[in-house]
């Protein structure tokens, strides 16, 4: 049985474990103060960040973090899915799919225009999942660090 719900205070330890796994996947380390700030924003209803956690068999097994923004091409908000992660031990069990479907369901219920996300071209596992929803488009990303 899988439940997707908002991340809450009592998820702190599990979320930090999953977040550490996500950092490992990207071979990076988000500084501890940024991680803390991120978690605090996930709990803050005034923050644009939306954190959802996947519970499978009473175990927190994955999360999504996304945010809404305005668009010049639509009248209602667009959702950017920034982070998606499933515990390696639970992969292939449908949690990734459920986390994306959850955002689609929320978006339809709340009247968002669109959901988008990106991944590395060689992230074959993620892309196999994403291709179930729609094909990738032909945009490329430019990212300037300030
Ligand atoms: C991408 C990710 C979130 C998918 O989560 P998941 O729970 O394994 O996804 P699902 O179980 O819903 O699987 C859906 C599809 O993913 C692919 N998949 C899952 N496990 C796989 C595996 N072991 N090998 C290859 N493909 C796999 C398959 O296409 C699967 O569909 P299928 O059931 O038809 O085989 C997860 O692999 C992950 O956290 N990866 C590391 C972090 C990452 O890449 N995040 C996305 C960054 S943009």
Q: pLDDT tens digits, residue range 11-22?
A: 999 999 999 999
- The arithmetic mean of pLDDT across residues 4-27, rounded, is 98
For tokens 């490992």, name the residue.
Answer: 24
Q: Which of 120, 128, 132, 141 to mutate to test the pocket of ligand 1 (most atoms within 8 A of CB)?
A: 128
83 lines ligand 1 (CB under 6 A): no
29 lines ligand 1 (CB under 6 A): no
Residue with CA nearest ligand 1 atom 27: 125
> For residue 137, what pLDDT is reported?
97
Helices (H), 1-136: 12-25, 32-43, 95-110, 124-130
- Domains observed in the chain: 2-130 (3.40.630.30)
> For residue 109, what pLDDT is reported?
98
């Amino acid at each position: 049985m899988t439940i997707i719900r908002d991340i809450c205070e009592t998820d702190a330890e599990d979320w930090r474990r999953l977040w550490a796994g996500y950092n490992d996947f990207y071979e990076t380390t988000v500084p501890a103060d940024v991680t803390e700030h991120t978690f605090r924003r996930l709990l803050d209803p005034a923050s644009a960040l939306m954190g959802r956690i996947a519970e499978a068999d009473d175990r927190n097994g994955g999360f999504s973090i996304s945010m809404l923004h305005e668009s010049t091409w639509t009248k209602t908000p667009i959702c950017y899915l920034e982070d998606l992660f499933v515990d390696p031990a639970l992969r292939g069990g449908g949690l990734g799919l459920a986390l994306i479907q959850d955002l689609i369901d929320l978006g339809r219920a709340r009247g968002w225009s669109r959901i988008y996300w990106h991944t590395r071209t060689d992230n074959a596992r993620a892309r196999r999942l994403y291709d179930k929803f729609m094909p990738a488009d032909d945009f490329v990303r430019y990212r300037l660090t300030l």
